Amino acid sequence: QMKVVHTHHGMIGYPTPPPVQYPRFVGVSKGHALMISNRLRIPARYVYNGIKLPPAGDYKRGNYLLSLNRIAPEKGIHDLIDVAMDTRTPLVIAGDDTHISDHKYARDINKRCVDSNGLVTYLGLVDNGTKEQLLKECLAIVGAPLPDYFEVFGLYAVEGLAYGKPALVTANGGLKEIVEHGKSGFICKTPAAMKDVINGKMLDQIRAEDCRKRAEVFSRE
């Protein structure tokens, strides 16, 4: 008899568990496992997404925020542009804009970047080398998934922390488990609250060593 463990990396789109005697589901965060349990009414456990940690180093803090996420409406990229524009803080937007369902949204985001007079830069899908360089040189990693979307983990936050960069995110799903508020970044109720963190120069209070130490919890090893 074959035994199967199913690790689910997204929203559950069906209301009942599979027709097996003992279904076993594994989420990628505590909140994700709870969501699965509540929806399917079966026990679910979690295993965090692990990353291969880059070598520890003295990575400099640049002046730009980095959005490293799929270019999709639910990821709140448009809200991040508002944050950047209102605080006059450079923002770089990188992420998959090919395997997406709403290409018009990606075009609209790109146009807003073009119209920002150089404050916001749109890169779209980048290779690993470019991604690593962006992480090494950014000020902070940012994410603002919409309230009606459940961010099951937030791999980008861990990747930023691994390079000693604070994570500035909204309180959504796995992000609330990754970021230690006030120590490895800031968890904000709304994108508007992110502006207060930036304007108050609160990111300068976060130590790179604390960010790296937090990332080590999510080491693949």
44-46/65-68 β-pairing: unpaired
Q: Are 24 and 6 in contact (CB under 8 A)?
A: yes
Task: Say if residue 16's pLDDT is above 90.
Answer: no
Helix/strand/coil for 51? strand
Structure-token match 């018009």, residue found: 104
pLDDT digits (tens, 9 = 90+) for 109-121: 999 999 999 999 9
Task: Say if residue 8's pLDDT is above 70.
Answer: no
pLDDT band at 161; cut points 50, 70, 90: very high
Q: Are 148 and 180 in contact (CB under 8 A)?
A: no
Q: What single DSSP character describes residue 181?
A: B
In sequence order, what DSSP letters do the residues of 108-172 get, joined into one string?
HHHHHHHTTTTSEEEEES--HHHHHHHHHH-SEEEE---TTS--S--HHHHHHHHTT--EEEES-
Task: Say if residue 2's pLDDT is above 90.
Answer: no
Instruction: Name which residue leads in pLDDT, 106 or 19.
Output: 106
Give the H or E element holding residue 78.
helix 77-87
Task: Say if residue 130's pLDDT is above 70.
Answer: yes
Task: Say if residue 221's pLDDT is above 70.
Answer: yes
pLDDT band at 148; cut points 50, 70, 90: very high
pLDDT at residue 47, as a whole number: 92
The span from the CA of 129 to the CA of 121, in Å, is 18
Query: 0.85 cut: is pTM over it?
Result: yes
Task: Say if residue 28's pLDDT is above 80.
Answer: yes
pLDDT at residue 1, as a whole number: 72
Nearest to 155 by CA among 201, 208, 105, 220: 220
> What's the burial of 132, exposed, middle or buried (CB within 10 Å: 0-12/13-18/19+)?
middle
Task: Say if residue 206's pLDDT is above 90.
Answer: yes
Rounded to whole angstroms, the maximal C-alpha distance in the chain is 62
